[in-house]
């Protein structure tokens, strides 16, 4: 082979080798660069994940919790009112006449049927005797007419006339007896005489007032209950009245009005209480506490109540996953020891310390509260 050709081949191989060596290096450099970039991206993702995890762990709030259980509760409805007599009757004359005798004074206790005043009998007894004599005459006439009619000597018309005259005479006697009874005005029930308007010698006309009789045992304590609360009580329910004079009495609801006062939209309610010995007086200011129907409620400290972002009153609780849940509640009543609320599950774990530093949906770390559950 020609020497020049051999040299050319050697030079060509050297050039090809040099070129090949450069391409391989660049390719290797590119692969190394991509691998390093991928490794760096993975490291950054893991670091970010670890940072988020640490941040989450750093923001978990620790709170104290306590479990509460609902119990039956009767709410009291407070109403302002006054005492009233169970019955008040103004006795009036049923006939006209002059007062002959007064049997009672103001303030006297009377029993049903006791005389209050008596009118002058005058000629009423004589007229009664005259009417009774007329009956005896009419009976004889009726007997004779009946006998003659039976024998055929008298018509049926004559017998019917005699029968009518006898009935008329009996009616006159009955009317006179009623009149004589009306001459004595009697007490219609057990009570006491609040006032007496008749005196001996007074001439009383038919319909004029004679006396006022009051029944105060039992006594009524009455008030007006709002339309929002009237359905919470019922006839026969219990109630307690505290009088401004210091007495405290208990009884049952006797009456609840079906119609409201047009001016106040309130309903009249009557509490019937015993008044043995009539020690309690009518017209005394009182505060009435009616017990409502029993409902399930929780009794707790008002200190754990809080507001959500919308300003709604409620309580913050935690579920089994330690996630915060907000429950709006309604306060039924409050005492010196705590408040009764509704709106919670029957059994609930409430945040009692730290409730103002968490929000609905937050995850928390819980620690049991060592304070016992509030009791009324």
pLDDT for residue 156: 74
- CATH number of the domain bearing residue 272: 2.40.30.170
Specify whether 122 is located in the same domain as 149: yes
- β-bridge mates for residue 61, sequence order: 364
Domain count, the chain: 4
Instruction: Look up the domain containing 314 and give its range.
Output: 61-72+296-368
What residues have CB less than 8 Å from 71, skipping those under 6 apart?
Answer: 296, 297, 298, 299
Per-residue pLDDT of the chain (376 residues; tens, 9 = 90+): 556 666 666 666 665 665 655 544 444 454 445 545 444 555 555 555 555 555 455 567 889 999 999 999 887 888 999 999 999 999 998 888 888 889 999 888 999 989 998 887 776 666 766 777 777 877 887 787 777 777 777 677 777 887 888 788 788 777 777 676 777 888 989 898 999 988 898 888 888 999 999 998 899 999 999 998 888 888 998 999 999 999 999 999 999 999 999 999 999 999 999 998 888 999 999 999 998 878 899 999 999 999 998 999 999 999 999 999 999 999 988 888 899 999 999 999 999 999 999 999 999 999 998 765 556 6
Q: Which of 274, 295, 316 is the last residue of a domain?
A: 295
User: Do 322 and 339 lie in a common domain?
Assistant: yes
Taking the C-alpha atoms of residue 329 and residue 311, their distance in angstroms, rounded to an integer, is 12
What is the per-residue pLDDT for 175? 74
Which pLDDT value is given to residue 229? 86
Question: Last residue of a domain, which of 246, 274, 295?
Answer: 295
Asked whether residue 301 falls in the same domain as residue 343, the answer is yes
- pLDDT given for residue 251 in this prediction: 93
pLDDT the model gives residue 26: 47
Helix (H) or strand (E) holding 135: helix 124-151
The neighbour count for residue 183, using CB atoms within 10 Å, is 19
HSE-up (13 A, CA, CB side) for residue 271: 32
């Amino acid at each position: 082979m020609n020497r020049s050709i051999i040299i050319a081949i050697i030079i060509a191989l050297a050039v090809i080798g040099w070129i090949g060596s450069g391409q391989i290096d660049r390719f290797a450099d590119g692969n190394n660069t991509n691998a390093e970039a991928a490794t760096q991206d993975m490291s950054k993702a893991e670091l970010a994940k670890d940072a988020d995890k640490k941040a989450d762990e750093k923001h978990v709030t620790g709170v104290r919790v306590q479990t509460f259980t609902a119990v039956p509760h009767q709410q009291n409805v407070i109403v302002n009112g006054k005492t009233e007599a169970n019955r008040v009757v103004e006795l009036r004359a049923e006939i006209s006449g002059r007062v002959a005798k007064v049997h009672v004074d103001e303030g006297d206790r009377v029993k049903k049927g006791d005389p209050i005043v008596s009118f002058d009998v005058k000629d009423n007894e004589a007229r009664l005797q005259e009417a009774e004599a007329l009956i005896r005459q009419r009976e004889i006439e009726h007997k004779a007419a009946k006998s003659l009619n039976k024998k055929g000597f008298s018509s049926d018309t004559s017998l019917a006339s005699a029968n009518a005259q006898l009935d008329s005479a009996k009616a006159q006697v009955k009317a006179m007896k009623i009149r004589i009874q009306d001459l004595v005005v009697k007490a219609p029930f057990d009570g006491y005489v609040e006032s007496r308007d008749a005196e001996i010698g007074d001439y009383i006309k038919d319909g004029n007032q004679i006396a006022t009789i009051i029944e105060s045992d039992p006594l009524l304590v009455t008030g007006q209950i709002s339309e929002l609360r009237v359905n919470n009580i019922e006839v026969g329910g219990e109630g307690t009245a505290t009088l401004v004079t210091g007495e405290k009495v208990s009884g049952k609801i006797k009456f609840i009005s079906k119609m409201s006062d047009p001016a106040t939209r309130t309903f009249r309610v009557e509490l019937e209480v015993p008044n043995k010995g009539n020690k309690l007086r009518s017209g005394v200011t009182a505060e009435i506490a009616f017990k409502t129907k029993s409902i399930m409620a929780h009794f707790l400290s008002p200190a754990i109540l809080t507001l959500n972002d919308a300003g709604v009153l409620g309580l913050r609780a935690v579920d089994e996953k330690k996630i915060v849940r907000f429950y709006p509640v309604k306060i039924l009543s409050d005492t010196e020891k705590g408040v009764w609320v509704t709106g919670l599950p029957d059994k609930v774990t409430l945040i009692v310390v730290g409730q103002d530093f968490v929000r609905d949906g937050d995850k928390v770390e819980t620690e049991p509260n060592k304070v016992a559950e509030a009791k009324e």
